[in-house]
Structure 1
Amino acid sequence: MMERTHVLVVAAGRGSRAGTGLPKQYRALAGRPILARTLSAFLRRSDLGSVVTVIHADDRDLYDAAVAGLDGLAAPVVGGETRQDSVRAGLEALAARGAGPDDVVLIHDGARPFATDDLVDRAMAAGRSGAAVPGCPVFDTVKAIDADGRITGTPDRSGLRLVQTPQAFRFGLIGDAHARAAAEGRHDLTDDAAVAEFAGHAVTVFAGDAANVKLTTTADLKAAERRLQPTLADIRTGQGFDVHAFVEGDHVWLGGIRIPHTHKLSGHSDADVVLHALTDALLATIGDGDIGSHFPPSDMQWKGASSDRFLRHAAERVRARGGVIANINATIVCEAPRIGPHRDAMQKRIAEIAGIAPDRVGVTAGTSERMGFTGRGEGIVAWGLATVRLPAAAD
């Protein structure tokens, strides 16, 4: 049987160094989730076999939203406690899909969205040698230090390389190496090349790509955003408004958060006045109707629906236009319940639904000084405001 090349994308990490909010692989980068950009580098090719993604057990909904519209993906695999565990789970899934020992597998970080066709070509060719990794020369002087920060040596940088992914291996070789490492209790190996080395295999280095950076910190995410932003010159602002009346009940949904209260809000869905206003604001930025045109109350499938579906849909519509959400803000007017104690939770939840960082979400609130229907405690009003950046129209 002719050898094939498969791809294993590891995206099960939490990305804690990238700050609070969504795991970094699901955050939007110039209008698309990072993971979607990473996977697209492989899915656009016709010379690859299975493309399998390893995800965290809690991330299936995030994953499904991120890869919506991508064709050719195998079902995702749930990872383990360590990267090694996750890769091993992915290799087992590829074996179940028919990967043979002489096939090549490319193992790639989910947070490296800039892999080029040339780099993938080099990886595929190098993988036939058994085990190979992309590496870039070190141009800065490197110092070895002790626990007190004192320099203990200056390694010869000509013999050093900064290693990247995709790392390429014969499938049988890396599968056996991972199995051996697990059997011997080695869970501290930082990449798959180290696993192969542990099992006694020679690993070669082929030319990497300095632009093929892994997005690890908040600074990395901002730099990547700047790298892709120059064409997003069409800045737009949209406004939304919603109001719902109180009826008998024991809680309200506001900003995706369930808040205990003496009443609930009346509506066809869960009546989350905040998410409804933000949905309309986002749709307004691209002239794409309003929440009623996308989710008509006459359609019974939306009866009692969770409003996070509406806001997520609006965010996806913006991204489908190549846009990026710069900021969304909700202003809430009511006498009760008090918004302050729930503001942070709302901000975090809205950011999660929209696929943006929490510092791009604002939640403000006030009363109407007991005037009007809100002042009489008859309902809640919310305004939504959104700013997005879209690709500039061609002249």
Structure 2
Amino acid sequence: MSDHAPTSASPRVAAIIVAAGSGQRMISTDASHTEHIPKQFRDLGGKPVICWSLDAFTKHQNVSSIILVVGQGQEAQAQAIIDKHFGHYAHIVSIITGGATRMQSVRNGIAALSEAGFDGFVAIHDAARPLLKHHILDKLIDHLATSSAQDLVGVIPVLPVSDSLKQINDSLITDVIDRDKASAAQTPQLFRLHSIAALYDNIAHENITDDASLAMSAGLNVATIMGTRSLMKLTYEEDFTILEHLSRAGGNRQNIGPAMDIRVGNGFDVHKFGDKPGPITLCGITVESEYGLTAHSDGDVGLHALCDALFGALADGDIGSHFPPSDDQWKNADSARFLDYAVEQCHNAKASILHLDLTLICEYPKITPHRDAMRKRIAEITGLDIGRIAVKATTSEGLGFTGRREGIAAQATATICYNGAESS
């Protein structure tokens, strides 16, 4: 298991995403197959359900390790999804096999973290609650990290119950439950790993429905924060229909609340051809060229323009201020490092990258044959879905330095959204 250091002074957090269920209460097939598709692998808003939780955790600044717990025989399918959608974060995601029950699956996840030597907070989350937002994670972490209660081991999101509650036996009402004293528990549920791990090591029975109940059964204190209705759980087919609408209405934009702070940055860069032979590096891939590009780094004009677009959207200088050409450590450097840094700056500022648009301006070399490979490489570096990345090419109709084949220019636009507070 690999992990990366958190980018703030807050405690390190590991996530366990439980996605090992068979989803028998939600039977559905697609148009081309007759077998049952577990709900965690069904499409929701244009991507598999598990991608939503992975997206939330991989892009949170305090999450340094993720355990994805899947059912036996689902490991290869889960790995393919991570490779496709989360190549940039694959080093912090580990796939393990779950058990016959949720409690067994969580226990396997906790054991993996303990064996890796992780010591921090653990967020245990059901993949069946896909629309997790960063503000919920922030509140959970802040509450547990700042609590003065020495005996507090965890905190969970809850919602007040609005319906009248009845106790039923054989279809007859046998009692009325006071809804003012009841709340609906949600996930993720955040705990101090050493406290919850000890409970799972000695679990006596499997009929406990969530991690907070396990802690409470041991006499430990668990606090609550206000949850959000968008964290509803996929259980029945009609739930899927509701969440499909919610995801398309805004869930596919991580953490965009009612007051959206969307910003756009532009980037432009130029590099000239030199006397040395090619190939050249464009958008992170090698492209055959008679001559190489003159630059202090590898001369990747496409990635440089994307960096400046992101820095512009952040109002955070330009590529030269972050990686000055006077500094020898950047000589012949791989520009993927620059773009990776720009992406991290966005995450540190709690800004989500919504879209990247790049235009390469040159008479030579031909870009179109390489366009898809360029988009794929940019997706790997940034962690974005390839559908959010555009690479285009044009010529200057023989005019100017690009028209005379003296060099290549690139123009980029980046759209980001600052993740403000969201109402529940």
TM-score strictly above 0.5: yes
Mapped to 2, the partners of 1:304 and 1:212 lie a distance apart of: 50
Greater mean alpha carbon deviation, residues 9-18 or residues 365-374: 9-18
1:254-296: CA deviation from partner (whole Å, max 9, x where unpaired): 1122234444323221111101122223333444433223212
- For the pair 1:165 / 2:210, whether they are aligned, the reply is no
- Deviation of 1:6 (Å): 10
Structure 1 residue runs of 5 or longer lacking an equivalent are 40-51, 65-75, 100-104, 141-152, 182-188
1:53 corresponds to which of 65, 71, 79: 65
1:267 matched to 2:309: no
What letter matches 1:91 in structure 2? S
Aligned mate of 1:230, from 249, 259, 279: 259
Pair 1:81–1:336, CA change in 2 (3 A)? farther
Tell me: CA distance 1:28–1:207, structure 2 relative to 1, closer, same or farther (3 Å). closer
Q: Distance in 1 between matches of 2:377 and 2:361?
A: 19
Tell which deviates more after alignment, 260-269 or 79-88.
79-88
| Structure 1 match to 2:125 | 109
For 1:335, which of 360, 363, 379 is the aligned residue? 363
- For 1:102-141, what aligned pairs fall within 5 Å after superposition? 107-109=123-125, 113=134, 114-115=136-137, 116-117=139-140
1:278 aligns with 2:283: no
Give % identity: 29
* Residue from 322, 341, 345 that aligns with 1:294: 322
Counterpart mapping for 1:144-155 below 5 A: none
Matching residue of 2:391: 363
**Structure 2 match to 1:46:** none
Q: What is the TM-score when the length of structure 2 is the normalising length? A: 0.55
The answer to whether structure 1 residue 303 and structure 2 residue 326 are counterparts is: no
Partner of 2:15: 9
Whole-angstrom CA distance in 2 between matches of 1:20 and 1:239:
30
Deviation at 1:7, TM superposition (A): 6.3
Q: 1:209 to 1:109 in 2, by over 3 A?
A: same
- Are the aligned partners of 2:110 and 2:197 in contact in 1 as well (CA < 8 Å)? no
Answering whether residue 200 of structure 2 is matched by residue 174 of structure 1, we say yes
What's the TM-score, normalizing by structure 1?
A: 0.59
- C-alpha distance in structure 2 between counterparts of 1:17 and 1:266, whole Å: 46
Deviation sequence 1:75-113 (CA, Å, 0-9, x none): x7955355655432103345x86x9xxxxx854239663
Amino acid of the residue matched to residue 173 of structure 1?
A: L
Q: Supply the distance in 2 between the matched residues of 1:54 and 1:12 (Cα, whole angstroms).
A: 11
Look up the match of 2:59: 34
Q: Determine which of 375, 385, 388 is the counterpart of 2:413.
A: 385
How far the C-alpha of 1:302 sits from its partner, in A, is 0.6
The verdict on how the C-alpha distance between 1:366 and 1:222 changes in structure 2, with shifts beyond 3 A counting, is same
CA 1:334 to 1:12, structure 2 compared with 1: closer, same or farther past 3 Å? farther
- Aligned partner of 1:185 in structure 2 is none
Q: Which residue does the alignment assign to 1:256?
A: 284
User: Does residue 96 of structure 2 align to residue 80 of structure 1?
Assistant: yes
User: Residue 77 of structure 1 contacts residue 93 of structure 1 at CA under 8 Å; is this kept in 2?
Assistant: no
Q: In the alignment, is the contact (CA less than 8 A) between 1:243 and 1:380 conserved in 2?
A: yes
Report the residue type matching 1:164 in the other structure. Answer: T
* Counterpart code for 1:9: A
Distance change >3 Å, CA 319–CA 79, structure 1 → 2: closer
How far does the alpha carbon of each residue in 1:149-182 deviate from its partner, in whole angstroms, 9 at most, with x for none?
Answer: xxxx9xx9x999665231666433313559x99x
Partner of 2:27: none
Cross-structure match for 1:92: 115
Distance 1:81 1:162, change over 3 A: same
Match of 2:31 in 1: none
Deviations 1:356-387 (A, max 9, x none): 44343321102234455434444322122334
Say how many residue pairs are matched.
Answer: 328
Distance (Å, rounded) in 2 between the aligned partners of 1:124 and 1:106: 18
Shift of 1:253: 1.5
Q: Is the 8 A contact 2:67 2:94 kept in 1?
A: yes
CA contact (8 A) 1:28 1:356 kept: no
RMSD: 5.5
CA drift of 1:249 comes to 3.8
Instruction: Mark the runs of 5 or more structure 2 residues left unpaired by the alignment.
Output: 1-10, 20-39, 69-78, 99-104, 127-131, 164-170, 233-242
- Of residues 323, 330, 350, the one that matches 2:378 is 350
Q: Say which SS state the counterpart of residue 80 (structure 1) adopts.
A: strand
Change in Cα spacing, 1:213 to 1:371, as seen in structure 2 (3 Å) is same
State the Cα deviation string for residues 9-63 of structure 1 (Å, max 9, x = none).
236999986756996567589xxx6322x65xxxxxxxxxxxx734689889748
Instruction: Give the deviation of 1:138 after TM superposition.
Output: 8.2
Change (3 A) 1:106 1:366: closer
**Alpha-carbon distance, 1:320 to partner:** 4.6
